[in-house]
Amino acid sequence: MRPKGVTLKFKSSDLHKYFLQVGTAVRKFQDFPTDLNDIIKEKFLATEIVKEYREDMNLTYNFTDKGRYFWKLHLNETPIDKNGEVPIDYNFS
C-alpha cells in the first residue's frame, strides 16, 4: 500500500481531474484519449503513472504499478448511481 501523503499529493495535482478520462482510455484501448492535450499526456508519462510500450511501429500505454494503485483507489471512491452512471455533478477531487 502506498503512503497516504503520496495519495493526497496526487489528488491535489493538476492531473487528478483528467484521471477518469485517461484511466478509462488506457484500460480500455491501451491509449490516451485522442482529444487530450499532449502536455497532459506527457505529464502522465513523466510522473510514471502511465508507461509507453513500443513494439515495431505500434505504441501502447499501460498503467505502472503506481498508476494501478491510483486507478483502484479512484474507482473505489467514485460513486455509481442506481442507473449505473457516475453522477454528472460528482466532483472528482
Instruction: List pLDDT tens digits, range 35-62.
Output: 999 999 999 999 999 999 999 989 999 9
- Which amino acid, one-letter code, is at 72? K
- Which amino acid, one-letter code, is at 75? L
Kindly give the interhelix angle for 4-11 and 65-77, rounded to the nearest 10 degrees: 70
Dist CA 93 CA 74 (whole Å): 10
Given a contact cutoff of 8 angstroms between Cβ atoms, the answer to whether 25 and 41 are in contact is no
Class of CATH domain 4-77: mainly alpha
Cell 495519495, residue? 7
pLDDT of 8 higher than 60:
yes
pTM, 2 dp: 0.79
Of 24, 36, 34, nearest to 67 by C-alpha is 24
Give 60 or 12, the one with higher predicted confidence: 60
Which residue ranges make up each domain of the chain? Answer: 4-77
